[in-house]
Amino acid sequence: DVCASDLVGTYGTLHLNSDGSYSYTLDNGLASVQQLAEGATVTDVFSYTNADNHGGSSSANLTITITGTNDAPVAVADAAAVKEDTNTLADPNPVSGNVLSNDTDVDNGDTHSVSAVNGSAGNVGNDLVGT
């Protein structure tokens, strides 16, 4: 006899019904699930035993494969400031930084780049390089 039960795996929960059918619910809130890069895989393995009414039995595994997808990066707003007329030379008063330094991505190994920049009440340079 199979009795209905919930089995907690590494990445989710397997619900096993008394008739042998099952459903698996992935725990997308886990960091180990979210950090999977696109196409990367991990497995949740559950062992079970099939027994008949004459005392015979056999064991096997149910393997659930989880495949990573590309999660979007999270861009965080940036700010910089300069003071007007602080440079005594005829040169501009520059400010510099990296707009990607405070942005995040849960996927391991992703690289990032700046693809569009718009400025207002000033200029934004063309020399943008990001990693």
Of 75, 45, 49, nearest to 60 (Cα)?
49
Separation of CA 52 from chain center: 43
Helix and strand totals (H; E) in the chain? 1, 5
Give the pLDDT confidence of 56-80 residue by residue, as tens digits: 999 999 999 999 998 888 888 888 8
Give the pLDDT confidence of 82-110 residue by residue, as tens digits: 777 666 666 667 788 888 888 888 887 78
Q: What is the DSSP letter of 31?
A: H
- pLDDT above 70: percentage of residues in the chain: 81
Predicted local confidence at residue 1, as pLDDT: 52
Do 106 and 34 meet the contact criterion of CB atoms below 8 Å apart? yes
Give the pLDDT confidence of 41-51 residue by residue, as tens digits: 999 999 988 88
Separation of CA 126 from chain center: 31
